[in-house]
Structure 1
């Protein structure tokens, strides 16, 4: 009986694939997995980020955080920031996706135009809008006679957070819009034609045809935007630095200040660990709720 000999070409291809895969895996392990494990370990110490010697203090950092009013203020601000961002991005991107998907002319060009903000760095966008808020918006407010628009929206606690969220949403709508368009293109035209013949209104067509089909894309966008909201740092920091009066101090800014300004690296690591738990809970809850609706 003739023995089976493995194909040398197949073996060589597998070795090549393994060689290309092992490098990203090693980089991911070193720069992410190792860093996360190290950060968790430091959160149980009193390390200041510079000293070679440090002591393990157990849950002392976590207990002090739960008693810190600034931590709870930053968590409340982060939650509000995330909710506002989700509402803005989902509503705007879904509206844009439906509008762009119904275009008959210049569809590719228009999609590319709306994707431009996603290719610009967050800090660059924040600096541009910072000048817009200080130089352009007050002029418009004075011309229209609107008092709250007559000064920079970043200067008062009531308007600073919505102003930062608006800038973040302006950039963040690009990718969800593309994802929604991909979901809309999977809907058979026959579904809309049958509903239209039966006399279904536009709202009913959206409720009973469009929404069930795009529910997976809604889930993807929700998880991505919630993560962006909870981990946001560049927009609030570049626009306001957490002010005025800590009104825009999201958890990312608090972690940065404790780590690099106050030299409380162990406290900053504890804050980052708690943030990870909160994001994981929100994401898992959203996935579970969406999967239940999909099964129904």
Structure 2
């Protein structure tokens, strides 16, 4: 028994030390510095809660919050609709079903930065050239250069790449449904929509909850997609909170101020995730 305990400790303690060193300690240090005027170098003094109050007065930060919420909500809704439709199609009795599952999962394993640069080329050159050649005015301009349309390009990129993971979870949920339920529904004369709304969706509700919470959390933390596709531009039209924290904290000498911003944002994400879980889990019980 003692030998097993030692083995357990030898396995757990190194993992705990690594996790604490590279995750917990930096987080605690960031919280500590959020109460100071530390610039990332040199000396510092305590300033209390002034950094936190200043975040709510900062127009650039509020604009970043607005874009991030707009992007995250839109992308979360779209990615779940798209991935659920794909999962329903792949779950049907079609040819090359297993091959198509692998193909649809490929975007998820690709580098976000690489995909971002590819989509940037598509939006900047390919689509405008195609639109000009076909005489389609809507496609004839670069949406990434338009402050009102650039965020849509980021949404398209995020949904395209994230749909693979959500589709995989929905497929796992669909595989748990007994076909006898659908056979019984067919005997009762139920249509496709009735079978989906009365059988499929209620039974995959736990997977829907997971997808909604994870997707919202990931999109709220958007960084790579924005950095690769627009760099936060044009101007600051697509600057996300994560990108603002990175630029201000590591490039702009606002380490303490952006640490406070990061703490606020962490609390916001936790609150949103908890509310989502409570609402959606209550929906599962109905």
Measure, in 2, the Cα distance between the counterparts of 1:58 and 1:46.
Answer: 9
1:32 aligns with 2:23: yes
Measure, in 2, the Cα distance between the counterparts of 1:22 and 1:105.
Answer: 50
1:134 aligns with 2:124: yes
Structure 1 residue 19 displacement after superposition: 2.1
**1:207-259 deviations in whole A, cap 9, x for unaligned?**
11111111111111111111111100111111111111311011111111211
TM-score, L = length of structure 2: 0.96
Measure, in 2, the Cα distance between the counterparts of 1:179 and 1:284.
Answer: 20
Measure, in 1, the Cα distance between the counterparts of 2:121 and 2:167.
Answer: 27
Runs of 4+ deviating beyond 4 Å: none
1:190 equivalent in structure 2: 180
Measure, in 1, the Cα distance between the counterparts of 2:284 and 2:158.
Answer: 30
1:289 aligns with 2:283: no
Instruction: Map 1:1-296 onto structure 2 (within 5 A).
Output: 11-51=2-42, 53-296=43-286
Judged with a 3 Å threshold, the aligned counterparts in structure 2 of structure 1 residues 202 and 247 are, in CA distance, closer, same or farther, namely same
| SS of alignment partner, residue 39 of structure 2 | coil
Measure, in 2, the Cα distance between the counterparts of 1:72 and 1:79.
Answer: 11
Listed as ranges, the gaps of 5+ residues in structure 1 are: 1-5
| SS of alignment partner, residue 157 of structure 1 | coil
**Greater shift in the superposed pair: 285-294 or 140-149:** 140-149
**1:22-54 deviations in whole A, cap 9, x for unaligned?**
222221122111111111111111000011x21
Aligned residues: 286
**Greater shift in the superposed pair: 17-26 or 226-235:** 17-26
Measure, in 2, the Cα distance between the counterparts of 1:280 and 1:264.
Answer: 24
Judged with a 3 Å threshold, the aligned counterparts in structure 2 of structure 1 residues 24 and 105 are, in CA distance, closer, same or farther, namely farther
Structure 1 residue 145 displacement after superposition: 2.1
Measure, in 1, the Cα distance between the counterparts of 2:174 and 2:217.
Answer: 24
1:3 equivalent in structure 2: none
**1:108-145 deviations in whole A, cap 9, x for unaligned?**
21111111111111111111111111221112211332
| SS of alignment partner, residue 55 of structure 1 | coil
Q: Answer with 1 or 2: which has the greater Rg.
A: 1
TM-score, L = length of structure 1: 0.93
